[in-house]
Structure 1
Amino acid sequence: MTTESAPISAIESSIEIDAPPARVWEVVSEVRNAPQWSSQAVKVIALGGRTSAGTRAININRRGPLFWPTTSRVVEFEPGRRFANRIAENTTVWAFELEPTSSGGTRLTQRREVPHGLTLLSRFLTDRAFGGQKNFSRELDQGVSTSLQRIKALAERG
């Protein structure tokens, strides 16, 4: 089993949204909302009620004809400030950070953090099914920009 030796890096992008942080928080902090804006999530089944710290979810993701499940847990939940979900299968953390702007809007940053590297299984499957780490990371980076544009549209619609 060979895998690319390129290091796995964090992905980060930001956007200015013409909506207050409370409105943006409503969109990004409920895991069930992800299919409305995510470039890959097509279904999220949250276990329990409204999303809060510790909420677990089963996620169905799609890339072209490929579908795959992941499981996640909310590891940070600071209302109006930071929301983060850890994906069990690869240990990445997908986080949103919200900052109020001087105009009354919100600067939203989405980040994929890789604090412990990826699991061997995740690296192997990404190399085999998604064209390698470098290609998949580039695709995820583009997906983050798409997601932020969709979140902006949802939040600004009110």
Structure 2
Amino acid sequence: MGQPPLEASIVIAAPPSAVWAALSDLRAMKDRSPEVIRTWLLGRPGVGRRAVNLNRRGAVVWPTWSRITRWKDPVQDYGRGALAFRVMPTDVEWSYELEPTDGGTEVTERRSALVDPSLVVRLTARFLLGGADRHDTELLAGMHRTLETLRSDLER
């Protein structure tokens, strides 16, 4: 009844600290993600902080609420960084993990499995987003686009 997890990775020719600086600017996600219109962070970023997000797919616009669940600057762990947030009403976790590589940083974006979607989520996916499988296909393509844009921004 749910949806499987999604994952995309890319290697960026920039140090983890530079990737973190760009990625941890949550308000800039609207410039990278094809589905995010805007994010309003409620306070300074860090674990437990909440945000209101406005999303779009074609003519369909909807709000989500999120809470940051991981916030690890790569300076704290030999270049390994992590940023994650749980999104409601779907109750999935979106995350970014940074891993230093020779000459750069590997960034992996994930969306956890959508295990038991509510009736509202199922109806929204079916009637407004073209179905859950189709939307997941678009989300995966959007993840690749987000990472490509991040890389383009940092490698300029």
After superposition, residues 62-141 of structure 1 pair within 5 angstroms as: 62-80=56-74, 81-103=81-103, 105-114=104-113, 116-141=115-140
Q: How big is the shift at 1:117?
A: 3.6
CA distance in 1, matches of 2:101, 2:123: 42
Give the RMSD, CA atoms, in angstroms. 1.4
Q: How big is the shift at 1:116?
A: 4.2
| Aligned partner letter, 1:56 | R
CA distance in 2, matches of 1:27, 1:140: 21
User: Runs of 5+ in structure 2 lacking a partner?
Assistant: 75-80
User: Runs of 5+ in structure 1 lacking a partner?
Assistant: none
Q: TM-score, normalised by structure 2?
A: 0.90
CA distance in 1, matches of 2:57, 2:16: 31
Q: How big is the shift at 1:33?
A: 1.7
Q: Deviations over 1:35-69 (max 9, x none)?
A: 121111011111113x1111111111111111111
State the match for 2:34 in structure 1: 39
SS at match of 2:40: strand
Number of equivalences? 150
CA distance in 2, matches of 1:115, 1:67: 20
Q: TM-score, normalised by structure 1?
A: 0.89
| Aligned partner letter, 2:92 | T
